Amino acid sequence: KVPLITLSISTYNLLAAVTDKGRPYLPSLSSTHHLPTFISRMSSNGLPRRIIKETQRLIAEPVAGISATPYADNLRYFAVAIEGPSETPYENGIFQLELFLPSDYPMTPPKVRFLTKIYHPNVDKLGRICLDILKDKWSPALQIRTVLLSIQALMSAPNPDDPLDTGVAEVWKKNEAKAIQTAREFTQNFATKKD
């Protein structure tokens, strides 16, 4: 197996981060001189041009409040971090997600799930997300960027009328203030950095 980027151990340790699954990824490729090598390795790994272009754009033009970086050991998996939108119960939280591009992408949607626990009617306890563009409203014209922006928007506007977690949805409908408070507590407990 050919390494993605040739780095000394000390340089790797400076650049690398480890997800909670123990998979290394490079969080700041756009700020290093290794980006051309990285893109070259993507091409040599047989990835479709579409995935390479989308990845290049995600790295070169990051979306505000969202980072998405491919894993070094499998360029179809992305480590995603979404900042909780302001004026929501998720504000000040950093939510980790995993995004996977299936072999038939873009004909089928990416698979995305929250790794960080979140109290939200459209996200179940396993982190799966109820979002129409991840299911029947998917179109090959959509991109990874669109999916991530849609998830960020869903965090701003939970929809208890189309839930994935019916228990959370019931609380949201019957006592929205309580649901929002619980969502804030989840954010504090699971989505904020501990010193």
Give the span between the Cα atoms of 56 and 52, in whole angstroms. 6
Q: Is 130 a catalytic residue?
A: yes
Question: Integer distance in angstroms from the first to the last C-alpha of the chain?
Answer: 38
**CA 54 to the chain's CA centroid:** 14
CB 181 within 8 A of CB 90: no
From the candidates 4, 68, 99, 130, give the one annotated as an active-site residue. Answer: 130
The enclosing H or E element of 191 equals none
Strand partners, 169: none
- Contacts of residue 2, defined as CB under 8 A and 6 or more positions apart, other chains included, come to 41, 44
Going by the DSSP 8-state scheme, the letter that residue 25 receives in this structure is: E
**Amino acid type, 114:** F
**Amino acid type, 157:** A
The enclosing H or E element of 165 equals none
What residues are labeled active site?
130
